[in-house]
């Protein structure tokens, strides 16, 4: 038996409780140790009207989550010295942004 089974069972119960509290129709949780997938659980429904359950293969829209991941990836490049946040965009992109995509002024 998996030594973490009891932990995963408690996590599953907690997630179900939180889904009820926050009226969340469905979600997937995947836990890793950075090298291996330890646990995957699918909860609720991908489509409430048709009663289609969430599975580990269900695709979800990420909404604004991508902004945080993009910012993190960019800041990692800054830390590595490969990106200057104050450089013109044209330094990194070969095309010129259209006029309405100009950067807004910011303070340092």
Is 69 exposed, middle or buried, given 0-12, 13-18 or 19+ CB atoms closer than 10 A?
Answer: exposed
Cα→Cα distances 25→30, 45, 54, Å: 17, 6, 9
**Structure confidence at residue 102 (pLDDT):** 56
pLDDT number for residue 106: 58
pTM recorded for the entire structure? 0.62
Tell me which residue of 5, 14, 64, 65 sits closest to 43, measured CA to CA: 14
**Along the chain (108 residues), what's the average pLDDT of each consecutive run of 10 residues?**
86 96 96 92 96 95 88 96 90 67 56
64 tagged catalytic:
yes
Q: Which of 41, 64, 90, 107 is catalytic?
A: 64
Confidence (pLDDT) at 88: 86
Contacts of residue 101, defined as CB under 8 A and 6 or more positions apart, other chains included, come to: none
Q: What is the pLDDT of residue 101?
A: 54
User: DSSP alpha helices (H): ranges in 22-101?
Assistant: 65-79
> For residue 27, what pLDDT is reported?
95
Give the C-alpha distances (Å, rounded to integers) separating 42 from 29, 56, 57: 7, 6, 9
């Amino acid at each position: 038996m998996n030594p973490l089974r009891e932990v995963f069972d408690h996590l599953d119960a907690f997630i179900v409780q939180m889904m009820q509290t926050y009226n969340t129709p469905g979600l997937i949780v995947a836990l890793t140790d950075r090298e291996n997938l330890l646990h995957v659980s699918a909860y609720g429904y991908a489509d409430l009207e048709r009663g289609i359950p969430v599975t580990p293969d269900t695709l979800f829209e990420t909404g604004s989550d991508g902004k945080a991941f993009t910012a993190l990836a960019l800041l990692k490049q800054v830390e590595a010295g490969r990106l200057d946040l104050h450089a013109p965009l044209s330094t990194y992109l070969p095309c010129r942004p259209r006029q309405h995509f100009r950067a807004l002024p910011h303070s340092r």
